Every structure is written in structure tokens, then in C-alpha cells.
């Protein structure tokens, strides 16, 4: 596999203008590496090429997944003043007996604190990338409780070839075994977790579309919201964005975004499963950023803060009754009241779009959409992981009850059915004696394993909606990971709604 013959990682993963990126490399037999750096947006712009970089042949430590690789710096990248904020792809090439081998690394050039270069800020969902990354051992889904950030990303997280099955969402139901997606990953020698996270799946198509439409977007990482909260100081950006699968948030990240909203700033969560798990960034490195992300999840009772005065930092669900800070407060919705759509046996033949409830909302201006219409189904914009809220129906329209923390002003604009995995529907069935996902979520949500608790959240939804903060900030949520797949000419109504959102919320007054 390519990632075994040449690989590397950048540290730090995010820098401001004037910073320096260290590129840590290893290649088979210590072969020299060709390094190409390109900013990827509407276009792929190569900004640096270095041939013959001496890499060395460094072993992957046994504890790399939790402790990092600790490889030496092979090359330094010093961005020039002309380089724009964005995602920078680092392509690594070597020659092995006449055959080319390639892998990828990345870094982010963020704007200087207090000096935005665009009217909107998109923090990439890098915490989620790291949670799923299984380079060097376990990730947070295979028994790990912490992951190191200083290690390469497994194949598929930063680059994916074209092909049927690339999306984890089933596009041509029924595919109850998800054979198309599993086959795609196997055929291309990608990580089995590469369908769930990474740059190519959601942020890349969103940024490419936005820049082609003339929208300027500054970029940072999830961790930057914690380590550089001044990026979102009041008035710095009209709009902060979350795109795709943005599952893992630290308390300080939420503090930063919620302060932005509380000050009248706007936010758009064009994402699903958003801020579902709390994590902690720990172990500061000599370069400054934290080097480890901690997430005990189902092993929450082993978290050192469990049963202490620091219970609010527990790395469990944000909606956990012992944390008491449901993500609904910020996003309006939660994965706890959502689940999956078109994944294996779960809503296997779902429409892949929203049934529209309030067609007169400004988001729908110019779309021609009406009450009861199906939105986004042609591009399957409702898929994979979905967020909803507790609601009731009055005169045929859904209204949030607020019992789960959803703001009173939240308007449900569209919805689609979603559900959590049960023992019968799970793609990875729980071991004997372990709870199903539905049972676990219900137990942490309500504090009981009574079957009646699971029944309360058994029938979830993806909720497209919006609310206004007391300070006048507008928050929009798609309630699904896959909104970005409706862009780039795939669904004119999704494109128009996204443009309406960016035009209204992402413009400086």
C-alpha cells in the first residue's frame, strides 16, 4: 500500500502568516521524496515543489496511535506572504523500482488573529478526522480512548479516487450490506474508516463550490477555535461555518462559537452529528498546539474526570445527563434525536431529501419550492448521519418542544426520517452484553436503561431549520452531513438555498 512506502505528517497542522510547518517523513529504504504543496479550493494551485528531500526510513512506533510517531523534521515549509488562507495539500512521491508511490499530508494556513481576510470562517472538522484515523493502531472506534495528532493520516482521509461507493451514504438503495462502499474501500486500499471522515468528503466540495461562486472563505482547524479563540472575536466574522461531519468538539471550541452567536454573530451548521461528543485537547507540544485528543466515549467511567468536580469535562455525549450541555443549545438539533438515513438497514429506502414544511422562509427564496415538496432527493443530501430535535405537531406543522435544549425560536423548515442502530440494524453489531447504539444514547440521555427510554428516541429525524439568538444572530442547520453533495450543479435548489444563506449571513454590514 502507498501509505506504507512513503508517508508523513505536518506539525503544527495550522499556522498563521509568518509561521513555519515542519514536514515529518518516512520512506521505504530512505528513498528521497518529491514534495509538492498546493492550496486546494476552486482550483488547485501549486505553491511549492521540492525534489530529493531526504526522508529517512523511520519505523512506526507501537504506540503511534496514542503517542504519535516522533519522526524528525525532514523539510520545512515557510509560507510566503502571497499564500491565502486555506487547506494545503502536501503530496509525497517516491520511486520504488520504477513504480511511483504516493501519499498525502496536509496543513492549514489560517488568518492572523484579528485580521480576517474573508467575511466567513470555516473550521475544518479535523477533530473528527483524527477520531477516525487508524494509522498506527486503534482509533476512537476500535477501543482507543485518545489519539495522537502527530502521525500520518491513513489512506482515504486526505485523498480519494473516483469510483462507485465513494460516499458512505447508499445512493442506489437497497444495499443492505453496503457492499458498494466496502468494495470501494477495499479495491482502493483505503482505511475502512475513510468513508466517515476526511477532507475529500464534504469540506473540499463545499469550498470549491463557494470559491467558484465568488465567496471568499477563511479556513482554520477545529483546534484553532480552542487555541486561538480571538479568531472569532466579536465582529471579526459575520458568519462561522461547519460543513459535513463535525462530530468532536472540546468545551473551549463550544465556548468560542457560542460566544460568537451570543454576540450577534451568525452560524451555519451545514453538517450532521455535529458536536455530538465532547473531547479534550491535552499534551501541549514545544510548537504550542496540543498533541493529543482524548475521547473515552463508551468507556466514560474510565475517564479521570468521572465522579469528580470536573464532570462537565467528561468525554461522553454533550447531551449526556451528567454533562448537561446539549449541543441543541448551539446548533438547535442533536444526533441523539436523529440517527442515520440510507445506511445499510437503517431507513434503507429513504427519499434522501427533506419534506418541506415552511416554504415561505427566506432560505427558500427563488427556489420555487412549496409546502410538502421534496428537497434535495436527486443529490441525496439527506444521508449518513442526521440531527433532529424533540417536537410536536400543531395544525399539521412541527414545532420543537424545547425539552432537549432546542431554542424556543427554532423553526423546523424541513425533515426526513432517521434512526439509530439497533441490534438488528447495526453494521457492526454490539458484542453480547453490550448495549446497542440506541440503548447507549438513551441511557446517557435520560439516565436509565429502561426500554421506554430507548422508545422515546427510536424514531428520529433530520431537521433543516433555523433560529435567532437573543442578540440577533441567525443560526441555520441542515441536520445532515451530506448537504454539500447537493452543490456543484447537482441540485439547483440546494445551490440557491446555500447562496441565500451566504448572501444574507456572510456579508459584512
CB atoms within 10 A of CB 380: 26
Q: What is the per-residue pLDDT for 98? A: 87
Per-residue DSSP letter, 471: T
CB atoms within 10 A of CB 329: 18
Position 183 in a domain:
yes
Q: What is the per-residue pLDDT for 1? A: 33
Give the mean model confidence (pLDDT) for residues 346-372.
98
Reported as a pLDDT band with limits 50, 70 and 90, residue 427 is confident
Displacement of CA 493 from its chain's centroid (Å): 23
Cα distances (angstroms) measured from residue 36 to each of 28, 190, 207, 376: 19, 22, 21, 37
pLDDT tens, 83-106? 999 999 999 999 998 889 999 999
Walk across the sheet containing 239-245 and list its strands: 218-221, 120-124, 239-245, 266-272, 474-477, 460-468, 411-418, 354-356, 374-375
Mean pLDDT of all residues in the chain?
A: 97
Position 44 in a domain:
yes
- Please choose, from the candidates 328, 438, 468, the residue with its C-alpha nearest in 3D space to the C-alpha of residue 389: 328
Question: Does the structure show a pLDDT above 60 at 37?
Answer: yes
Cα distances (angstroms) measured from residue 377 to each of 129, 162, 206: 27, 22, 18
Question: Does the structure show a pLDDT above 70 at 2?
Answer: no
The total number of structural domains that make up the chain? 1
Cα distances (angstroms) measured from residue 496 to each of 93, 445, 487, 492: 40, 36, 9, 6
Contact criterion met (CB below 8 Å) for 363 and 413? yes
Q: What is the per-residue pLDDT for 428? A: 81
The grid coordinates of residue 454 equal: 430507548
- Please choose, from the candidates 140, 224, 317, 245, the residue with its C-alpha nearest in 3D space to the C-alpha of residue 484: 245
pLDDT tens, 68-88? 999 999 999 999 999 999 999
Cα distances (angstroms) measured from residue 396 to each of 355, 393, 399, 456, 465: 13, 6, 10, 21, 17
In sequence order, the 6+-apart residues with CB closer than 8 A to the CB of 26 are: 6, 7, 8, 55, 56, 57, 58, 59, 60, 69, 71
Contact criterion met (CB below 8 Å) for 362 and 500? yes
CA distance 255 to 112: 20
| CA angle in degrees (0–180, nearest 5) for 333-338-341 | 130
Position 20 in a domain:
yes
Position 216 in a domain:
no
CA distance 189 to 103: 12
Per-residue DSSP letter, 60: P
Choose the weakest-confidence range: 4-8, 320-324, 367-371, 473-477.
4-8
Beta bridge partners of 375: 354
- Please choose, from the candidates 289, 323, 292, 318, the residue with its C-alpha nearest in 3D space to the C-alpha of residue 306: 323
Give the mean model confidence (pLDDT) for residues 206-221.
98
Position 32 in a domain:
yes
- Please choose, from the candidates 69, 228, 246, 247, the residue with its C-alpha nearest in 3D space to the C-alpha of residue 148: 69
CA distance 219 to 108: 7
Reported as a pLDDT band with limits 50, 70 and 90, residue 114 is very high
Angle between helix axes 492-505 and 203-212 (nearest 10 degrees) is: 70
CA distance 264 to 232: 12
Position 49 in a domain:
yes
Question: Does the structure show a pLDDT above 60 at 3?
Answer: no
Position 341 in a domain:
no
Question: Does the structure show a pLDDT above 80 at 353?
Answer: yes
Q: What is the per-residue pLDDT for 431? A: 87
Q: Give the total residue count for the chain.
A: 509
- Please choose, from the candidates 133, 53, 130, the residue with its C-alpha nearest in 3D space to the C-alpha of residue 90: 53
- Give me the domain span that covers residue 150: 2-109+126-187
Q: What is the per-residue pLDDT for 4? A: 58
Give the mean model confidence (pLDDT) for residues 152-169.
97
The grid coordinates of residue 212 equal: 467558484
Position 26 in a domain:
yes
- Please choose, from the candidates 303, 250, 235, the residue with its C-alpha nearest in 3D space to the C-alpha of residue 444: 303
Question: Does the structure show a pLDDT above 90 at 429?
Answer: no
CA distance 327 to 406: 8
What's the helix, strand, coil split of the chain in %, to 5?
Answer: 20, 30, 45
What is the CB-side half-sphere exposure of residue 401 using CA atoms within 13 A? 9
Question: Does the structure show a pLDDT above 90 at 46?
Answer: yes
- Please choose, from the candidates 407, 377, 404, 374, the residue with its C-alpha nearest in 3D space to the C-alpha of residue 389: 404
Give the CA diameter of the chain. Answer: 71
DSSP string, 272-326: ESTT-EEEEEEEE-TTSSEEEEE--GGGGGGSTTTTSTTGGG-SSBTT-TTT---
pLDDT tens, 401-411? 999 999 999 99
Amino acid at each position: 500500500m502507498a501509505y506504507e512506502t512513503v508517508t508523513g505528517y505536518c506539525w503544527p497542522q495550522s499556522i498563521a502568516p509568518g509561521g513555519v510547518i515542519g514536514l515529518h517523513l518516512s520512506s521505504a529504504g530512505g528513498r528521497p521524496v518529491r514534495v509538492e504543496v498546493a492550496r486546494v479550493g476552486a482550483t488547485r494551485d501549486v505553491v511549492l515543489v521540492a525534489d530529493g528531500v531526504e526522508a529517512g526510513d523511520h519505523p512506526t512506533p507501537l504506540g503511534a496511535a496514542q503517542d504519535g510517531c516522533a519522526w524528525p523534521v525532514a523539510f520545512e515549509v515557510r509560507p510566503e506572504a502571497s499564500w491565502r488562507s486555506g487547506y494545503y495539500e502536501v503530496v509525497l512521491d517516491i520511486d520504488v523500482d520504477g513504480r511511483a508511490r504516493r501519499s498525502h499530508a496536509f496543513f492549514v494556513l489560517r488568518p492572523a488573529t484579528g485580521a480576517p481576510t474573508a467575511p466567513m470562517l470555516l473550521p475544518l472538522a479535523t477533530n473528527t478526522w483524527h477520531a477516525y484515523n487508524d494509522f498506527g493502531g486503534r482509533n476512537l472506534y476500535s477501543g482507543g480512548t485518545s489519539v495522537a495528532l502527530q502521525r500520518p493520516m491513513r489512506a482515504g482521509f486526505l485523498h480519494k479516487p473516483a469510483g462507485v461507493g465513494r460516499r458512505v451514504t447508499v445512493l442506489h438503495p437497497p444495499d443492505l450490506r453496503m457492499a458498494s462502499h466496502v468494495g470501494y474501500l477495499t479495491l482502493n486500499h483505503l482505511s475502512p474508516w475513510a468513508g466517515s471522515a476526511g477532507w475529500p468528503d464534504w469540506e473540499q466540495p463545499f469550498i470549491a463550490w463557494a470559491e467558484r461562486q465568488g465567496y471568499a472563505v477563511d479556513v482554520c482547524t477545529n483546534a484553532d477555535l480552542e487555541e486561538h479563540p480571538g479568531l472569532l472575536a466579536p465582529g471579526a466574522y459575520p458568519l462561522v461555518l461547519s460543513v459535513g461531519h463535525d462530530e468532536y468538539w472540546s468545551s473551549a471550541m463550544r465556548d468560542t462559537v457560542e460566544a460568537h452567536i451570543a454576540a450577534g454573530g451568525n452560524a451555519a451548521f451545514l453538517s450532521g452529528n455535529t458536536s455530538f461528543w465532547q473531547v479534550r485537547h491535552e499534551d501541549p507540544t514545544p510548537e504550542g498546539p496540543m498533541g493529543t485528543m482524548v475521547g473515552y466515549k463508551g468507556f466514560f467511567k474510565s475517564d479521570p474526570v468521572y465522579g469528580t468536580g470536573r464532570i462537565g469535562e467528561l468525554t461522553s455525549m454533550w447531551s449526556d445527563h451528567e454533562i448537561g450541555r446539549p449541543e441543541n443549545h448551539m446548533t438547535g438539533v442533536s444526533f441523539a434525536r436523529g440517527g442515520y438515513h440510507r445506511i445499510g438497514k437503517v431507513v434503507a429506502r429513504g427519499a434522501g431529501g427533506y419534506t418541506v414544511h415552511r416554504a415561505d422562509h427566506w432560505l427558500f427564496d427563488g427556489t420555487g419550492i412549496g409546502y410538502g415538496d421534496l428537497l434535495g432527493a436527486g443529490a441525496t443530501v439527506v444521508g449518513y448521519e442526521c440531527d433532529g430535535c424533540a417536537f410536536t405537531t400543531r395544525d399539521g406543522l412541527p414545532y420543537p418542544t424545547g425539552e432537549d435544549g432546542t431554542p424556543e425560536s427554532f423553526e423546523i423548515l424541513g425533515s426526513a426520517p432517521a434512526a439509530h442502530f439497533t441490534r438488528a440494524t447495526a453494521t457492526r453489531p454490539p458484542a453480547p452484553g453490550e448495549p446497542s447504539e440506541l440503548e447507549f444514547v438513551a441511557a446517557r440521555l435520560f439516565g436509565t436503561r429502561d426500554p421506554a427510554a430507548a422508545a422515546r428516541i427510536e424514531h428520529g429525524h433530520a431537521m433543516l431549520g433555523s433560529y435567532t439568538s437573543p442578540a440577533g444572530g441567525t443560526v441555520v442547520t441542515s441536520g445532515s452531513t451530506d448537504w454539500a453533495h447537493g452543490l456543484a450543479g447537482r441540485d439547483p435548489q440546494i445551490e440557491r438555498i446555500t447562496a441565500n444563506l451566504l448572501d444574507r449571513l456572510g456579508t459584512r454590514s
